[in-house]
Amino acid sequence: MALLPCLPSQFPCSPVTGFVRLPLLSSRRSSKGVQSPNYRFRCCINTGTSVSQPLRRAASYPQNIWDDSYIQALNCGYMGDEQVNEIRKLKEEVGQLFSDSKEILYQIELIDELQQLGVAYHFQDEIKDKLSTIFCSLEKTRLFMDNDLKTTSLIFRLLREHGFHVSADIFNSFREEGGNFKLCLKNDVEGMLSLYEASFLGIEGDNQLDEARMFATEHLRHLLESLVEASVRERVAHSLELPLYWRMSRLHTRWFIDWYEKKVDKNSNLCRLAKLDFNFVQNIYKRELKELSRWDAEAIEQLPDYMKTCFMALFNTTNLTAYKIMHTKGVNIIPHLRRSWADLCKAYLVEAKWYHSGYVPTLEEYLDTAWISISGHVVLTQAYCTSENITDEALKCYNFYPDVVRQSSMISRLWNDLATSTAEMERGDVPKSIQCYMHEKGVSEEVAREHIRDIIVSISKKFDYDCISNSSIAESLKSVALDVHRMSQCVYQYEDGYGEQGHQKREQVISLLIEPIPL
Of the three residues 279, 294, 321, the one that is the final residue of a domain is: 279
Q: Report the Cα 418 to chain-centroid distance in Å.
A: 18
Average pLDDT of the segment spanning 107-113: 95
Question: Is there a single domain that holds both residue 9 and residue 99?
Answer: no
pLDDT score at 138: 86
273 and 417 both lie in a single domain: no
Question: Both 306 and 275 in a single domain?
Answer: no
Number of Cβ within a 10 Å radius of residue 251: 16
> Which pLDDT value is given to residue 38?
38
State which amino acid sits at residue 26: S
CA proximity to 481, closest of 398, 409, 426, 392:
409
What was the pLDDT predicted at 192? 96
Distance of CA 489 to the CA centre of its chain: 8
- Which CATH number do you get for residue 138? 1.50.10.130
Whether residue 519 lies inside any domain: the answer is no
Burial letters 136-152, b for 16+ CB under 10 A, else e: eebeebeeebeebbbbb
Residue 54 has pLDDT above 50, yes or no: yes
Q: What is the DSSP string of 330-346?
A: ----HHHHHHHHHHHHH
355-387, pLDDT tens digit by residue?
999 999 999 999 999 999 999 999 999 999 998
- In the chain, the percentage of residues whose pLDDT exceeds 70 is 83
pLDDT of residue 303: 62
Does 174 share its domain with 312? no
* For range 264-286, the mean pLDDT: 94
265 with 329, same domain? no
pLDDT classification of 114: cutoffs 50, 70, 90:
very high
> Which alpha helices (H) appear in 183-229, and where do they start and end?
189-198, 207-226
Segment 274-294 mean pLDDT: 86
> Could you give the CA distance from residue 431 to residue 366 in angstroms, rounded to a whole number?
9
What residues contact 103, with CB distance under 8 A and at least 6 apart? Answer: none
pLDDT at 354: 94
Shared domain check, 252 and 194? yes
Kindly tell me if the per-residue pLDDT of 225 is higher than 90: no
Whether residues 184 and 310 share a domain: the answer is: no
163/238 same-domain check: yes
Cα torsion at 296, 298, 300, 304 (round to 10°)? 40
Both 186 and 125 in one domain: the answer is yes
Give the bridge partners for 42, in sequence order: 20
In angstroms, what CA-CA distances link 366 with 59, 342, 436, 444, 497? 21, 18, 7, 18, 23
CA distances from residue 60 to 8, 56, 92, 428, 498 in whole angstroms, order as listed: 19, 11, 53, 12, 13
Q: Are residues 307 and 264 in the same domain?
A: no
Instruction: Assess whether 173 and 255 both reside in one domain.
Output: yes
CA R_g for the chain: 25
* Confidence band of 294 (pLDDT split at 50, 70, 90): low
Q: Who has greater pLDDT, 101 or 207?
A: 207
Same domain, 14 and 118: no
396 by Cβ neighbours in 10 Å (0-12 / 13-18 / 19+) ranks as exposed
Residue 442 lies in a domain: yes
pLDDT band with cut points at 50, 70 and 90 for residue 32: very low
Residue 437 has pLDDT above 80, yes or no: yes
71 located within any domain: no
Look up the CATH number of the domain holding residue 488.
Answer: 1.10.600.10
Q: What pLDDT shows up at residue 497? A: 65
Residue 155 lies in a domain: yes
Number of domains forming the structure of the chain: 2
Determine, yes or no, domain membership for 57.
no
Backbone φ, ψ for residue 243 (5° rounding)? -65, 155
The residue among 465 and 292 whose pLDDT is bigger is 465
Answer yes or no: is 250 within a domain: yes
Q: Which of 67-81, 249-263, 336-350, 453-467 is least confident?
A: 67-81
**Which of 457, 433, 260 lies closest to 363 in space, CA to CA?**
433
The answer to whether residue 285 sits within a structural domain is no
**Residue range of the domain that includes 92:** 81-279
Residue 65 resides in a domain: no
